[in-house]
Amino acid sequence: MTRTQVQLDDDTYEALRARAFRERKSMSAVVREMLRGGLGLEKRKPVARKKLFSFIGKGDSGRSDISERHDDYLAEDFR
């Protein structure tokens, strides 16, 4: 990544700052996204859902009724 400097008029700066705050991103991140979109560059490929949720099913309790009795099992563990 290359560092650069851009000068903005007050109205543009305030609009950028407000957008970054709304989106909970840095101003730099918002500028990068806007530039990539304006220049027709592709966004990063999203991470496949399979990778995002690969942790699901990793643990096995050996019980088949967890979804129905989860409160009972939690209560047992906290006694």
pLDDT given at position 45? 64
Q: In this predicted model, which residue has the larger pLDDT, 48 or 75?
A: 75
Q: What contacts 37, CB < 8 A, 6 or more positions away? A: 43
Over range 36-60, report the average pLDDT.
74
- Give percent of the chain with pLDDT exceeding 90: 42
pLDDT given at position 73? 81
Retrieve residue 18's tokens: 């407000």
- DSSP tag of 58: -
In angstroms, the CA 46 to CA 9 distance is 34
**pTM of the model as a whole:** 0.52
